[in-house]
Structure 1
Amino acid sequence: MNPSLVYLTQTDTTVGFLSQADKKLSRAKQRDSKQKTLQVVDTLRTLKQFIRVPNLHKKTIRNAKNSTFIYPNQNAFRVVHHNSKHQNFLQKFNLMYSTSANKTKNSFNLEYALNNSDIVVYTKENFQEKKASSIYKISKNKKIKIR
């Protein structure tokens, strides 16, 4: 699998671009490449390979649904639900960068999304713009809701 491909797919939250190359996603969204990009993982076990979860938040993260957490090292991760179609797709990669499939500050436009992706992953449900994940910033001692 080519790690620089941009996939257009229905994620567990909304329609998204996914890639193993975060710079390519920044170009697709037409945003500053210095801006950090959310990473999605297929399991908690995969998450542990990339980040140390503060003890206070382990249960919260294990039970979270459709939530993104910004960790003390400023990296943002979201664990995808078990037994979802999106998790089945992610298991082929374990970890991918993810962002909504739209131009920065704009709503979803199918034509734009198709023109800025290399591979389109279709499902029976087609593409549906849904609510984005909640975002929390966590530190050793506290959790702050960002979105």
Structure 2
Amino acid sequence: MDAKFIYLTQSDTTAGLLSADPFRLNQIKGRQPYKPILAEVDCYETLKKFTRVPVLFRNRVRRSQKTTFIYPNHQSFRVVKDESHLMFLRKFSIMYSSSANKTGSVFDIQEAIKMCDIIVIDSRGIFAGIPSKIFKINKIKIKKIR
């Protein structure tokens, strides 16, 4: 498996496109090349390599499920806890993730297949689910974004 490919897979929340290259994901989705994109990590230890979690929110980040946090360094990460998706993600430790639809449109499986290089299907199949909750945190405050 090569991390530079774009994978279509069922993530812990919804059908998603995953890649190690955030610029390629933005290009395929028709977004600005430098638009921030969330990263999925396989464990809390991997998260600590990329950002520092404020002391006030460490417990919340560790216990949260299907939740993305935007950290003080303006990077966003989600620690995946769903075993089905985690089996795939452990091969890479970290992957950039985006929903499998063009920006501003609804999920269409045919469009998603055209956008990806490799399709990864597990027992759940591929479907549009509920997107993750997003919170922005700094040293002392938390704000719900979605």
Shorter-chain TM-score: what band?
A: over 0.9
**CA offset digits 1:114-139 (Å, max 9, x no partner):** 00100000112211111000000000
Q: How does 1:67-78 map to 2 (within 5 A)?
A: 67-78=67-78
- Name the CA distance, whole Å, in 2 between partners of 1:122 and 1:63: 27
- Name the CA distance, whole Å, in 2 between partners of 1:43 and 1:37: 18
Residue 3 (structure 1) shift? 2.8
Q: Which residue of 2 aligns with 1:54?
A: 54
When the two structures are aligned, how many residues end up with a matched partner? 146
Q: What is the DSSP-based 3-state SS (H/G/I as helix, E as strand, rest coil) of the residue aligned with 1:137?
A: strand
**CA offset digits 1:29-63 (Å, max 9, x no partner):** 11111110100000001101111000000000001
Q: Which residue of 1 aligns with 2:108?
A: 109
TM-score, normalised with respect to structure 2: 0.97
- Name the CA distance, whole Å, in 2 between partners of 1:10 and 1:120: 10
- Name stretches of at least 5 consecutive residues in structure 1 with no aligned partner: none
Q: Which residue of 2 aligns with 1:19?
A: 19
- Name stretches of at least 5 consecutive residues in structure 2 with no aligned partner: none
TM-score, normalised with respect to structure 1: 0.97
Q: Which residue of 2 aligns with 1:100?
A: 99
**CA offset digits 1:81-127 (Å, max 9, x no partner):** 05x11011000000000000000011111011000100000112211
Contact 2:3 2:92 in 1 (8 A): no
